[in-house]
């Protein structure tokens, strides 16, 4: 059997993602793990630590595979298309798990868990910065037009993806993501190619 703290996080991460920080009670956590309150708090300091570790676990499964996939691509334009391709499957992967963990935590924790909220800001900034670096690298390699503002395009692309994720998960319909990903491919990525 796995180590107890890993087992706990694996069992409670989906609960936090579906129900949020405030909506998740201690009884929800004990039910998910089939462990006592004492067993939970023997391995973790408090609910805040459980929520933060669960968020990181969910990100490891939701977002980090994207980073690995991007690294395999050689060209900057191919990397951008890899991002939109990844998000084409995102809805199906996460619809039964409560939706996008980064979006959920960013909204849920803003006014009730500052550490969790700060972590969501850090993670979303990492994604935007990674996008910006891809675009800047494309400019440097003459793959992307040199009049493009990497930071602005990165923010716009990621904002569109997260907004479409929100609508897809809210309306239980993948079409919102599909439409915006097609728009990003044909109206943004195709138009910034050098």
Q: Tens-digit pLDDT profile for the chain (194 aa)?
A: 458 899 999 999 999 999 999 999 999 999 999 999 998 988 899 999 999 999 999 999 999 999 999 999 999 999 999 999 999 999 999 999 999 999 999 999 999 999 999 999 999 999 999 999 999 999 999 999 999 999 999 999 999 999 999 999 999 999 999 999 999 999 999 999 99
Instruction: From residue 31, give the alpha-carbon distance in Å to each of 12, 26, 27, 98.
Output: 9, 9, 6, 18
Question: For the segment 27-42, what is each residue's pLDDT rounded down to a tens digit?
Answer: 999 999 999 999 898 8
Question: Distance between CA 79 and CA 107 in Å, rounded?
Answer: 28
Domain 63-192 sits in CATH at: 1.10.357.10
- Segment 65-90, tens digit of pLDDT: 999 999 999 999 999 999 999 999 99
> Which helix (H) or strand (E) element contains residue 155?
helix 150-171
pTM: 0.91
Domain spans of the chain? 4-57, 63-192
Retrieve residue 85's tokens: 């391709």
Q: Is the dihedral of CA 152, 121, 8, 112 positive or negative?
A: negative
Average pLDDT, the chain: 94
Choose which CATH entry (3.40.50.12170, 3.80.30.20, 1.10.10.60, 3.30.1360.170) describes domain 4-57. 1.10.10.60
Calpha distance 194→182 (Å, rounded): 20
pLDDT score of 176? 97
């Amino acid at each position: 059997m796995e180590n107890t703290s890993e087992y706990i996080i694996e069992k409670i991460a989906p609960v936090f993602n579906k129900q949020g920080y405030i909506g998740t009670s201690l009884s929800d956590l004990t039910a998910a793990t089939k462990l006592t309150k004492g067993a939970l708090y023997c391995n973790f300091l408090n609910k805040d630590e459980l929520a933060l570790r669960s968020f990181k676990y969910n990100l490891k499964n939701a977002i980090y595979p994207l980073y690995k996939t991007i690294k395999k691509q050689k060209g900057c334009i191919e990397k951008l298309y890899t991002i939109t391709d990844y998000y084409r499957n995102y809805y199906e992967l996460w619809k039964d798990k409560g939706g996008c963990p980064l979006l959920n935590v960013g909204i849920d924790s803003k006014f009730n868990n500052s550490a969790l909220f700060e972590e969501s800001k850090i993670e979303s900034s990492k994604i935007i910065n990674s996008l910006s670096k891809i675009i800047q690298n494309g400019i440097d390699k003459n793959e992307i037009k040199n009049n493009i503002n990497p930071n602005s395009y990165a923010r716009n692309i990621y904002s569109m993806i997260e907004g479409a994720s929100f609508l897809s998960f809210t309306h239980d319909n993948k079409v919102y993501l599909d439409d915006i990903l097609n728009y990003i491919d044909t109206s943004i990525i195709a138009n910034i190619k050098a």
